[in-house]
Every structure is written in structure tokens, then in C-alpha cells.
A and B are shown apart, each in its own frame.
Chain A
């Protein structure tokens, strides 16, 4: 299939075009016979591809290691050290964040030295600080062919060979998607329109899961209704934690204050009433 020297292919196509089915078929993922890791598939929810037999990330990596290819193992180990994954080696794999689990499953799969590694929309969970070194690692390990499905195709424009799945000749990265500010729809009942706040202020937001290990410290910012905000940060930086605090699921530290149109409010006392939250894995909120 691949004739170029480039060993990474981006599987292009719209949502529901069949990219996942293609990757599963190419790697024989749903076959009933046990294979010998010639092809490995990793789907969109990395947790489902963790072995479930390891209580630490280090053991998970060891479980997948094939000792014969020492140099291969070394490049993966160097990559993990470079991105600072070291401090997570003694952690429970199921307690890692989505991005951290992605790194773990991809690194584990690479240690098996398959001939093809298919990654289905998993890398979307990684930020640039981790994704770029990972793609470089893929380029260095030329003995593996990588098939990557990712909705953020613009991040791969200079690197990769492309395989189109969809017949519709509409390249996602040709269009520049512009975000416009959202206006309150006229169809909403008046009683709801009246209760929509114009401005939300957060002052001195601090939070820690464990004492002396703050995740968020003295954060203050304003939000205005109708605008779209992007929350950027490295994997494990506290983006989901911040979202959960705003939604009222987690309780921040005492000196944190929230103001809605100048009026003091407490999201923790009314969870889900001030801010809503859409989850990374929709299966957890479909009921």
C-alpha cells in the first residue's frame, strides 16, 4: 500500500465516512483468531486498550515489551522521559488523564514492534507539546507503518502521506472555519432569556486534590455570555478540573469567589445550574 518512504499515513474522511471501519479491517481487529501483534489498533477511548492487568504504568509498558528489539525500546523510553512521563510510571493507568492514557497505550503498542499501528482519533487528546515529539518518534521508527485518523488534519499538513476514505471531494483543511459570537436565539422562552447572565467573574480560584499539591492557584478571569473561549493547557494541567469547578462538581478552596452580573453565586451549591458540561466521552452522559 505504501510506496513512499514516509511511514505515516493520515486517513482522511468526514465523520461517519468509515475511517474506523477501515482501520479495524486493515488491522484485522475484530478477527476471532489470536494474532502475534503484527497489526495493532487503538481506538478513540484509550482506556479500553489498556490491558487491565497492571496496577502501574511501568508494568503496563513491561507487559508489552519484546526484549529482542532493544534499540526500539530505548527510543520509546527516551521519548517518555523527554515529555516528562517518568513521574507517571508508578501511577495506576486508570487514574491517568485522557492524554496520559493515550501516550501510555501508544507507547505500549510501539513496544510490541508491530508492522502496522492504527490510531483512531486518539491523538486528538494530546496537546502540541506531546504530539510533535510523538510524531517525530513515529518518523524515527520507520519499521512500523502508522495509520492515523484524526479530525484535526491541519496539524499534519507537512508530515504525512494521505489516504482518502470518503468520495466527497471536500477537504476539511481547505475551509477556514470561523467562529462567530453566539447571539441568544429568539426562539428561547422569555423567562430563560431573562435569567441568562451577561457576565461571570471568577476571583482567586484555587484547588488541590491533595494537600500541598495545588492544581489551580489564584486564578482570576471574566467570562461574557455569547463568546466562545478556548482553554489551552498541557495534558494534566487542570483544564477538566477547572471545568468541573465551574460546573459545581468540585468544591474550590475557601477564598474562591464567583460573581454573576455582580451577584455572588456558588456553583457547588447548585451543580449544573450555572454552567453545563459536555464530556470527553459522551457514553458517560447519554442517560
Chain B
């Protein structure tokens, strides 16, 4: 994350805190601890508007429907029977939902790296060479693919090929989107790879001076302490 002064979390802090957080998510079996952990993570997400918006969208579009379906299955379909160490189906459904949401939140925080530190951060993690370019490329070209799909569907609308804007008609567009999308992907791949070779882009990246990390020691320590505490409490819940 970046604060107003343009600082970021140090890569070591980012990685270690994430490892402890993910371990805690899997070790923990206490619903209250999960709720508390989520509250703290949500407060961290509040520090950045873009991240918060993305998380709220995830909750509304993905998370809450998941909870509804879990509730339907474990409470209605399975008669709210006890599941494992949980006294009833709803507690179990809420716990699994929270675990999914916590993992997504932790990953969103981990991957929220300023653009100018993207290469430096992953180089720090010894993710060099081909894997680095693939990782960065996959993060970036997603908007390209999304905009192409949108343009293809728009082209179909504008040619009157989509009769009504109902769910079924939108679903029927899928096969008609995949073909031109794949054609576009190959065209782009051939042109872009030739352009990379011509410009020697990969050598440029290797020679590009990596940004120096500017981070707040106090904030990083607090993040590490929080993640270690969460891990410790999770271990205690086992006993």
C-alpha cells in the first residue's frame, strides 16, 4: 500500500506478514477470531480507496452470494446439522465464508504493489527472468482482454445481433466472443513479440535501475506484530 508520502510496505514485511496470515487462516478454527481478524484487515483496506472499492465489489458480487448459497446448503438443505466442531450449519457456513473472504483480503493486500515498485518487489523475491515478465504481463493485460471482450459484445449489439438485453441472450454471446477474442490474442501476440524483439524490451527491463524502497519502519513493525499475534492466537485456538 502507499500512503500520501508515496511509501510502500517493504517486500520482506509484505511476504512474512502474508505467510503468517495465510497460515493463521488455515490453522484457526474459531469463528470469533476470524471475525476480529477480518475487522482489522478491513481497516487496513480502508487506507486506500481503490483497494476498498475493489474489496466492496468483491463482497457484494461474490462474497455475499457465496454466503447465501452456503447458508442454503448447510442450513436449509442439510437441516442446520452440526458440521465438524461447529454446533450448527450456520456457524460452519459463516466460518467457511469468513475464511474465503480473509484469504481474498490478504491476497488483495499482498498484490497491491505500486506500479513503479512492481519489478523491484518481485526481483527482491528472486522472481527473475521469464516468470517475472509473465507475472507482470498477466497482471497488466487483463484490462486489454476485458476491453476487447467488451468491444466484441458491443459490436454485436450495434449490429442488432443481440435481440434483448436479458440474461439468456447475454449468455448466448459467449461462443461468439471466444473466437474473435482468440483471433485478436494471436494477432497481438505475434505483433507484440516482434515489437519486443525489435525494441529489445527485455534487456531494457533488466538494465532499468530498480526503485529504492521507501517504507515506514514503525508501520512495518506493527504489521509484522499483528500477523504474528494472529498466528499465535490461531495456534492457541487449536488447544
Please tell me whether chains A and B touch each other in their complex, using a CB distance cut-off of 8 A: yes
Q: Does A272 contact B (CB under 8 A)?
A: yes
Q: Does A247 contact B (CB under 8 A)?
A: yes
Binds A, one of B36-44, B60-68, B95-103, B186-194: B186-194
Question: Is B143's CB under 8 angstroms from A94's CB?
Answer: yes
Number of A-B contacts (CB under 8 A): 134
User: How near does chain A come to B193, taking the closest CB pair, in angstroms?
Assistant: 10
User: How near does chain B come to A21, taking the closest CB pair, in angstroms?
Assistant: 14
Question: Is B158's CB under 8 angstroms from A53's CB?
Answer: no
Question: Is B147's CB under 8 angstroms from A94's CB?
Answer: yes
Distance, CA A43 to CA B198, complexed state (A)? 13
Q: Select from chain B the residue with minimum beta-carbon distance to A282.
A: B155
Interface size on B, residues (CB 8 A): 46
Question: Is B188's CB under 8 angstroms from A47's CB?
Answer: yes
User: How near does chain A come to B117, taking the closest CB pair, in angstroms?
Assistant: 11
Q: Does A218 contact B (CB under 8 A)?
A: no
Distance, CA A279 to CA B162, complexed state (A)? 17
Q: Does A252 contact B (CB under 8 A)?
A: no
A interface footprint on B172-202 (CB within 8 Å = 1, 0 otherwise): 0000100110011001100110111111111
Question: Is B158's CB under 8 angstroms from A35's CB?
Answer: no
Question: Is B196's CB under 8 angstroms from A51's CB?
Answer: yes
Question: Is B192's CB under 8 angstroms from A48's CB?
Answer: yes
Question: Is A29's CB under 8 angstroms from B144's CB?
Answer: no
**CB-contact partner of B205 in A27, A28, A63, A249, under 8 A:** A63
Q: Does A112 contact B (CB under 8 A)?
A: yes
Distance, CA A94 to CA B188, complexed state (A)? 13
Question: Is A55's CB under 8 angstroms from B139's CB?
Answer: yes
Q: Given the known inter-chain contacts A35-B198, A63-B205, please indicate yes or no for A52 contacting B147, CB distance below 8 A.
A: no
Residues of chain A within 8 A of B144, CB atoms compared: 47, 52, 94
Q: Given the known inter-chain contacts A35-B197, A37-B200, please indicate yes or no for A56 contacting B115, CB distance below 8 A.
A: yes
User: How near does chain B come to A265, taking the closest CB pair, in angstroms?
Assistant: 14
Question: Is A249's CB under 8 angstroms from B158's CB?
Answer: yes
